[in-house]
Amino acid sequence: MIEISGLRKNFGPKQVLRGIDIAIAEGKTLCVVGGSGSGKSTFIKCIIRLLHPDGGAIKVDGQDITHMEDEYALAAVRRKFGYLFQEGALFDSISVWENVAFGLRYLSDEPPSRYREIAKQKLALVGLDNVCDLRPSELSGGMKKRVALARAIAAEPRYILYDEPTSGLDPIMSDIINDLILHLKRKLAVTSIVITHDMKSAFKIADEVAMLYEGNFIARCAPEEFRKSDNPFVHQFVEGSGEGPIKMKIRDLE
Ligand SMILES: Nc1ncnc2c1ncn2[C@@H]1O[C@H](COP(=O)(O)OP(=O)(O)OP(=O)(O)O)[C@@H](O)[C@H]1O
Ligand SMILES: [Mg+2]
């Protein structure tokens, strides 16, 4: 179980997370939505301690990891997680299968002789065959996304943090990824946090949807409730409307 209380994260004077309280129960999927720059990636980077929080507490399976500094202890916590980076973060200098297998030596007890086989199997799960020996630079954007997803699930983690798993994919591939997320949840009882802009995907895979706005979750409920919410911020987001209380600051670019 992941329990977060009073989580704060600043970048200089910018207060990105302003006291987040949320718990994700075992085996559940939380979808986090919110505008660009609202702090969604920052939120999950804090959970896996790629960022150091400025306040509050993060507990994983009852263990407080907020200020954990010991590299071995942190590595043991990270072994529980799969992480899909928003940008994919693949290494162009190694092959696709080596990318997928990259974390296995830290994250699993599998012998190296099995790495290629495991990578192949995970690539097949995300609908990729015959790409093992290619370089990431030879793949389309959507294929890279799926390779990154295969890497996130390679060590069969208990928790998976997905940062926009369907962005840049066509609608059919998006739905295949949605089904894969549901499959991992149902068959392997994985607990997940999924950041997405894709409301269709959120409504399909989430047990709960939470919306991040100005550093806090302003709504958190079951998908059906979220869809019908009369909170004007949520409503505007669900409708994808330029009109409403959320003002996008295009002015800032001037
Ligand atoms: N390492 C960093 N250093 C300084 N500022 C940062 C850093 N990472 C994020 N920020 C700032 O924090 C804010 C939140 O960024 P974050 O990437 O978490 O947003 P997001 O909700 O994931 O956005 P998007 O939907 O565009 O991915 C932004 O204003 C961003 O500029
Ligand atoms: Mg982001």
CATH of 2-80+158-253, one of 3.10.450.50, 3.90.79.10, 3.60.20.30, 3.40.50.300: 3.40.50.300
Span from the CA of 16 to the centroid of ligand 1 (angstroms): 8
Span from the CA of 207 to the centroid of ligand 2 (angstroms): 21
3: number of Cβ within 10 Å = 16
Residue 106 parent element (H or E): helix 104-107
Phi, psi of 10 (to 5 degrees): -115, 150
The token duo for 166 is 């369907």
Listed by start position, the domains of the chain span: 2-80+158-253, 89-157
Sequence letter at residue 2: I
Q: What is the pTM of this model?
A: 0.91
Q: pLDDT, tens digit, for every residue of 79-127?
A: 899 999 887 789 999 999 999 999 898 888 899 999 999 999 999 988 8
Span from the CA of 167 to the centroid of ligand 1 (angstroms): 17
Ligand 1 site, CB within 6 A: 11, 16, 34, 36-42, 86
Q: pLDDT, tens digit, for every residue of 102-111?
A: 989 888 889 9
Q: pLDDT, tens digit, for every residue of 159-199?
A: 999 999 998 888 988 998 899 899 888 888 899 999 998 89
Query: From atom 27 of ligand 1, which residue's Cα is the shortest distance away?
Result: 36
Structure confidence at residue 150 as a pLDDT band (50, 70, 90):
very high
221: number of Cβ within 10 Å = 17
Q: Is 106 exposed, middle or buried (0-12, 13-18, 19+ CB in 10 A)?
A: exposed
Q: Which of 16, 31, 199, 246 maximizes ligand 1 atoms within 8 Å of its Cβ, making it the mutation to test the pocket? A: 16
